[in-house]
Amino acid sequence: MSALAVAHPHATYPRPVLLRPVPDPPPERHVDDDQAPVTVTISIAGGAGGRERVLAALRELVDAAGAAGAVEVGDGAAVRQEGAAEIRLDPRARTAFRGGRLLELSRLEYDLLLFLARHPRQVFSRAQLLTHVWGHRHTTNRTVDVHVSRLRTKLDDPELITTVYGLGYRLADDAPIVVVER
């Protein structure tokens, strides 16, 4: 077998495969001591998985910067709470208010939001939402996508209803929604 031949990925080899060590990275460059330190403040909003990856990368940068740099990392919750007023749902009156302002939701948009608010931290497939909110499954799954999109627009918060890729939808963990039960 020549050095250029490519083996099948599932092939077995009669002898162990030897791995080469990875060369050491180049030596670190340090900031001159007479240079003023730079402070960067970053606020991260988004899904938990992406946020954790970004935070881990930023921690590595802070460690590399040493005393010359300072980075303050926020999780985005404070930014969300400042910019997003609480949403109050009253099932008896079938009203939705955000920051004291009445939200103009269709019957299905309201029912969808109320269903998700009453089942926090649960992921629902499109078929489950069609059954529980619409009361039937005689329409396409795309119907759910359209209503979620319209609801996100009317709530002025695209991250309030989270898409769980390959599964369905759920309400965000930090969703500022209160269901008024009398």
What phi and psi, each to the nearest 5 degrees, are found at residue 161?
-105, 115
Owner of token pair 């629902």: 124
Q: What is the pLDDT of residue 73?
A: 46
Q: What is the pLDDT of residue 61?
A: 65
Q: What is the pLDDT of residue 136?
A: 81
Q: What is the pLDDT of residue 150?
A: 94
The helix/strand/coil state of 129 is helix
For the chain, what are the domain ranges?
38-79, 85-179
Q: What is the pLDDT of residue 169?
A: 93
Structure tokens at 168: 């369905």
Please, which residues have CB within 8 angstroms of residue 118's CB and are 6 or more apart in sequence?
A: 179
Q: What is the pLDDT of residue 170?
A: 93
Structure tokens at 43: 């606020």
pTM (whole model) above 0.75:
no
- For the domain spanning 85-179, the CATH number is 1.10.10.10
Q: What is the pLDDT of residue 113?
A: 94
Residue 56 CB burial class (10 angstroms; 0-12, 13-18, ≥19): exposed
Please, which residues have CB within 8 angstroms of residue 85's CB and are 6 or more apart in sequence?
A: 98, 99, 100, 176
Q: What is the pLDDT of residue 139?
A: 78
Q: What is the pLDDT of residue 78?
A: 43
Q: Are 97 and 103 in contact (CB under 8 A)?
A: yes
Structure tokens at 14: 């009669």
**What pLDDT tens digit does each residue of the chain (182 aa) get?**
444 445 555 555 555 555 556 666 666 555 554 554 444 444 445 555 666 666 666 666 666 665 545 444 444 444 444 445 789 999 999 999 998 899 999 999 999 999 999 998 899 999 999 999 998 877 777 889 999 999 999 998 888 999 999 899 999 988 898 998 87
